């Protein structure tokens, strides 16, 4: 199942922020948690945690459920796996591009060395010197 361009953009935007990645890591490590509980483990406010959770929810990385008066958030493992695959695919694309650039640079370098090694013919004598 391939991800759409829009969902890729939402995903990469969601995980681009180090604070959101920290919240996501906490949920992966500790399971379902409320914004209050998560705020105890990060250097920012509960309101900031809530805003990060909204972005992660919109990207599909977390889901929420009500338990009593609390709203608990948990990682969606299928979406996280899908995100991991998307990032691995992107990394592979960049590896191919960088390898192509490396091959081009090495070929250009080898060609310039070969050109420098070819003996050049002496410049022809001017018309005046020939006569």
Go through the domains of the chain in sequence order and give each one's CATH number: 1-114 (1.10.10.10)
By the 8 A CB rule, do 35 and 53 touch?
yes
The pair of structure tokens assigned to 104 is: 């081009």
At residue 123, the pLDDT reads: 63
At residue 122, the pLDDT reads: 64
Strand partners, 75: 62
The pLDDT-based confidence of 128 (bands split at 50, 70, 90) is low
The pLDDT-based confidence of 87 (bands split at 50, 70, 90) is confident
At residue 10, the pLDDT reads: 85
Q: Give the CA-trace dihedral at 7, 79, 26, 55, to 10 degrees.
A: 30
């Amino acid at each position: 199942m391939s991800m759409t361009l829009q969902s890729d953009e939402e995903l990469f935007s969601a995980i681009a922020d180090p604070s959101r990645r920290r919240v996501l890591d906490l949920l992966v490590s500790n399971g379902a948690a409320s914004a209050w509980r998560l705020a105890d483990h990060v250097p920012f406010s509960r309101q900031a945690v809530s805003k990060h959770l909204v972005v992660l929810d919109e990207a599909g990385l977390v889901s929420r459920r009500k338990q009593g008066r609390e709203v608990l958030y948990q990682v969606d493992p299928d979406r996280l796996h899908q995100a991991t695959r998307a990032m691995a695919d992107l990394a592979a694309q960049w590896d191919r591009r960088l390898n192509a650039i490396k091959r081009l640079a090495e070929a250009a370098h080898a060609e310039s060395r070969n050109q420098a090694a070819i003996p050049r013919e002496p410049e022809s004598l001017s018309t005046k010197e020939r006569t």
